[in-house]
Amino acid sequence: MLESIPFMKTSKNQKKFACPVSVKDLILPCFVIEGTRRKEPIRSMPGISRFTVDLLSKEISQARRLGIRSVILFGVCSRRHRNETGEYAYSPNSIVARAVAAIKDIFSDVCVMTDICLCAYMSHGHCGIVKKGSRHIDVKATLEALSKMAVTHARAGADWVAPSAMTHRQVRTLRRALDRYGFKKTKILGYSAKFASNFYGPFRDAADSAPQFGDRSGYQLHYADSKRALREIADDIQEGAAMVMVKPALSYLDILKEARLKHPFPLAAYNVSGEYAMVKQGAKAGFWDEKKMVFEILSSIKRAGADKIITYHAKDAAGWLKA
């Protein structure tokens, strides 16, 4: 094998570099569904499943044994609970609220984050409440719903809430709502630079949250708009986020690096569903070695400046790091 030829110029170099990624950097995304005793594999994301609350603890216990200490939860609401207000998102009985409580009850050392967005609770699949008779987001109503959702999750025990609806001033609004209800310690992870990306395809399959009309370009960033991305990051820091995020990761490593250089502030990157699916499909086709590919990708995200990486590879990577 090439890598073992001792006289190659790079061989010494290769050894010098330990893997920069540690299991502590990884955040595992989990999809929660209604019902009991169901584990549903996601067709577009081989190796990832959606779990009912009772089975989720098993998944998290496995992850925990591998050294993972942070998870982010996404609720996948059944069609019958969806409507034009997305109110199920902030019901105290919602799947995510119950999942948070169940996890915190069993694993007090696992940091639980929740995604704060309405798309999986809406009949139309958009991230906010749409004004009646129009195709515009009702910002005020959306912020109110997102605030209620965040407070509900905080009350259930969430350590972090992560607003991803890309509504104007969502971080400031959530910070105020959390403080007002006595959840000063609940932190906010801003999906600050969230691009309207083609890489979210498999996630929308997983969460059944594809918009029924139009697209998300009205509230997510255009992939060419680096200036606005950096402005959003600065704004979220100002508004009270405790960590900011760039999403997706791989096509936006430049943004990540710029954010890193500009702000000495906790920074996360989301290695999204489409990025994951490509690695899996390529490995399945025999185009590359999955483990090597995953390490190269995670290392590049880390090298660009991410402190934390949300990734569907988390369990595999943790296992490989341990071996």
- Binders of ligand PBG among 20-79, rule CB under 6 A? none
Question: Which of residues 107 and 141 has its CB atom nearest to ligand PBG in the complex?
Answer: 141
Whether the bond between 248 and the residue before it is cis, its omega within 30 degrees of 0, is: yes
For residues 171 and 179, the answer to whether their CB atoms sit within 8 Å is no
Q: Applying CB under 6 A, which of residues 21, 56, 113, 119 lies at the interface with ligand PBG?
A: 119
Asked if 232 touches ligand PBG (CB under 6 A), the answer is no
Q: Which residues of 227-240 are buried (b: 16+ CB within 10 A; e: fewer)?
A: eebbebbebbbebb
Sign of CA dihedral 11, 17, 18, 23: negative
Q: Is residue 252 a contact point for ligand PBG (CB under 6 A)?
A: no
Count of CB atoms situated within 10 Å of the CB of 133: 6
User: Would you call 16 a catalytic residue per the annotation?
Assistant: no
Known catalytic residue: 227?
Answer: no
| Tokens matching residue 107 | 């694993």
Tokens of 220: 């997510």
**Residues 164-203 as x/- pattern, contact with ligand PBG by CB under 6 A:** x-----------------------------------x--x
> Between β-strands 49-52 and 39-41, what pairing exists: parallel, antiparallel or unpaired?
antiparallel
Looking only at the bridges linking them, the beta strands covering 49-52 and 160-163 are unpaired
Stretch of residues binding ligand PBG (CB under 6 A), selected from 98-106, 114-122, 144-152, 167-175: 114-122
In the bound complex, what is the minimum distance in angstroms from residue 44's beta carbon to ligand PBG? 10
**Residue of closest CB approach to ligand PBG:** 203
Residues 122-141 that bind ligand PBG (CB under 6 A): 127
For residue 169, is it left (φ>0), alpha (ψ between -120 and 50) or beta?
left
Task: Please choose, from the candidates 48, 65, 109, 50, the residue with its C-alpha nearest in 3D space to the C-alpha of residue 318.
Answer: 65
Under the binding rule (CB under 6 A), the answer on residue 311 touching ligand PBG is no
Taking the complex as a whole, the smallest distance from the CB of residue 268 to ligand PBG amounts, in Å, to 12
Q: How far is the CB of 24 from ligand PBG (least distance, A)?
A: 21
Which two three-digit tokens encode residue 185?
């310690």
Q: Is 273 in the site for ligand PBG (CB under 6 A)?
A: yes
Smallest gap from Cβ 138 to ligand PBG, in A, equals: 17
- CA-to-CA distance for 269 and 246, rounded, in angstroms? 5
Q: How far is the CB of 37 from ligand PBG (least distance, A)?
A: 26
Query: Where do contacts with ligand PBG occur on this chain (CB under 6 A)?
Result: 115, 117, 119, 127, 164, 200, 203-204, 216, 272-273
